[in-house]
Amino acid sequence: MAKFIMVQGTMSNSGKSFVAAGLCRIFRQDGYKVAPFKAQNMALNSFVTEEGLEMGRAQVVQAEAAGIRPTVAMNPILLKPNSNMGSQVIVEGEILGNYSAAEYYKLKKELVPVVEKSLKELSDQYDVIVIEGAGSPAEINLKEFDIVNMGMAKMAGAPVILVGDIDRGGVFASLYGTVKLLDEEEQAIIKGIVINKFRGDVELLNPGLKMIEEKVGIPVIGVIPMEEIDIEEEDSLADRLNRKGKGSGLDIAVIHLPHISNFTDFAVLERMNGVSVRYVETEDGLGVPDAIIIPGTKNTMSDLKWLRDSGLAEKITEFARLDIPVIGICGGFQMLGKRLSDPYGVEEKGTMEGLGLLDAKTVFSREKVRTQARARILEHIPGWPRISGMNVEGYEIHMGITRNLATAGTLLI
């Protein structure tokens, strides 16, 4: 039977995913068979497994740290927000349906057996399970049907490490408030506190560490310094979406769509020397980039409307006519075509004109395409000499099927 340890945080983006990934790596290095687990993940960044099932990317990174293949048992419930009030609910890698927040809250109790089954599946195979919480355990309005924080810790019998982000300020207040909003049984489950993203001399921090230990009765077991350790984040609070670029080098403008998804696609560009990646929300902010990327989105038609209303659509097509490269990924690629049709009301029933930069049309279907893909870039592609003949791999997650309306050149086979 596996042993469990759980990482919770005082807020979103406090560093839970990072600490959990670090623990997976450490346990692996110490010779244990270790796996990550998160009962419920709310994120727009997702991954497709070898079986064609969808899960959150944070657990994929943690699985990589553990040296194992990711499976949906590591993240049995994935919520992908598609509006301010609702989400697409994915259970064990398959779409269950679209639910409002109130509808999903009532549904959660029925999903407990799914969580228990996934946790047992992992515990039968591994020595240690590193469990990640979500948001904060002190969200007392959601406590009744909690399956991801203290409810999860009790289900697994897992001791908890509580992570606080000192870089945002107010870390001691957030730690104290989080602990004191929990009942005595839950407070006793927390065995240690970790201060994350610390800058400066730790000696100056020690008086505060001693005081918080005295006030909450929980030891501070570590202080993690602020480092540029760029592992993938899971939600829209991710700092990268606020980046305005390096100010020099190749200037790439990524359109920050309202329902942007899989923005971790651009992490590799951000890490490259001589490349500046900016996330743009306004026509004025676009400037004159060297290239434009329209990313994936959880609501293609709604974000295409926003693109037009913001003035960015007209600007993008104008730059395309000036031979500035415009690249579309997933939903962004669908927007580049001439027409988008949604006969079944998957997003917004009806038909909409695309940007017209590709002679293609997209029809949304009820079934989601989820598959890993491998291909080779054909040789002698004009303008692409450095990547000709290169083998590439990735995955597809989309509801729409895009077809050429005219003969077009082939890039991949």
Alpha-carbon distance values, 192 to 123, 164, 210, 344 (Å): 23, 11, 13, 51
User: Quick one: average pLDDT of 226-236?
Assistant: 67
Parts of the chain belonging to CATH 3.40.50.880: 239-404
- Inter-residue contact 41 to 75 (CB < 8 Å): yes
**Mean pLDDT score of the chain, rounded to an integer?**
89
pLDDT in tens, 243-274: 666 666 899 999 999 988 888 888 888 888 89
**3-9 and 160-165: which strand pairing?**
parallel
Which amino acid, residue 317?
Answer: T
Check residue 244 and give its pLDDT. 61
Name the token pair of 185: 């049984």
Q: Which band of pLDDT confidence, cut at 50, 70 and 90, is reported for residue 377?
A: confident
Parts of the chain belonging to CATH 3.40.50.300: 3-225
d(CA 405, CA 167): 51
10 has a pLDDT exceeding 70: yes
379 has a pLDDT exceeding 50: yes
Check residue 185 and give its pLDDT. 96
Q: Which strand (E) or helix (H) includes residue 63?
A: helix 57-66
Q: How many residues does the chain have?
A: 413
d(CA 119, CA 154): 13
User: Quick one: average pLDDT of 213-241?
Assistant: 79
Look up residue 336 and give its DSSP letter. T
User: Quick one: average pLDDT of 378-407?
Assistant: 74
> May I ask the CATH class of domain 239-404?
alpha beta
- Inter-residue contact 33 to 19 (CB < 8 Å): no
Check residue 142 and give its pLDDT. 84
Closest CA to 280 of 317, 239, 242: 242
Closest CA to 257 of 249, 246, 265: 265
Name the token pair of 157: 């019998």
pLDDT in tens, 330-356: 899 999 999 999 888 887 788 999 999
Q: Which of 133-137, 186-190, 239-243 has the lowest mean pLDDT?
A: 239-243
Alpha-carbon distance values, 294 to 50, 260, 268, 276 (Å): 27, 9, 16, 16
- HSE value, Cβ hemisphere, 13 Å, CA-based, for 364: 23
Instruction: Supply angle C-alpha 235, 240, 243, rounded to 5.
Output: 140
d(CA 143, CA 359): 51
300 has a pLDDT exceeding 70: yes
* CA dihedral sign of residues 149, 150, 154, 159: positive
| Contacts by 82-89, CB closer than 8 A, 24 or more apart | 82/259, 82/298, 82/299, 82/347, 83/299, 87/42, 88/298
Q: Could you tell me which residues are beta bridge partners of residue 280? A: 255
Categorise residue 269: left if φ over 0, alpha if ψ from -120 to 50, beta otherwise.
alpha
Check residue 192 and give its pLDDT. 98
Phi, psi of 293 (to 5 degrees): -120, 125
Domain 3-225 in CATH 3.30.70.20? The answer is: no
Higher pLDDT, residue 377 or 175: 175
- Inter-residue contact 152 to 132 (CB < 8 Å): no
Give the rounded percent of residues in the chain with a pLDDT score beyond 70. Answer: 92
Higher pLDDT, residue 194 or 42: 194
pLDDT in tens, 89-133: 999 999 998 899 889 988 998 999 999 999 999 999 999 999 999
- Inter-residue contact 74 to 35 (CB < 8 Å): yes
Closest CA to 69 of 86, 89, 49: 49
Check residue 31 and give its pLDDT. 97
Check residue 236 and give its pLDDT. 45
DSSP string, 291-322: EEEE-EES-HHHHHHHHHHTTHHHHHHHHHHT
Check residue 235 and give its pLDDT. 52
Q: Which band of pLDDT confidence, cut at 50, 70 and 90, is reported for residue 237?
A: very low
13 has a pLDDT exceeding 50: yes
CB atoms within 10 A of CB 273: 6
Chain centroid offset of residue 321 CA: 33
Check residue 8 and give its pLDDT. 98
With b meaning 16 or more CB within 10 Å and e meaning fewer, what string describes 300-314? bbbbbebbeebebbe
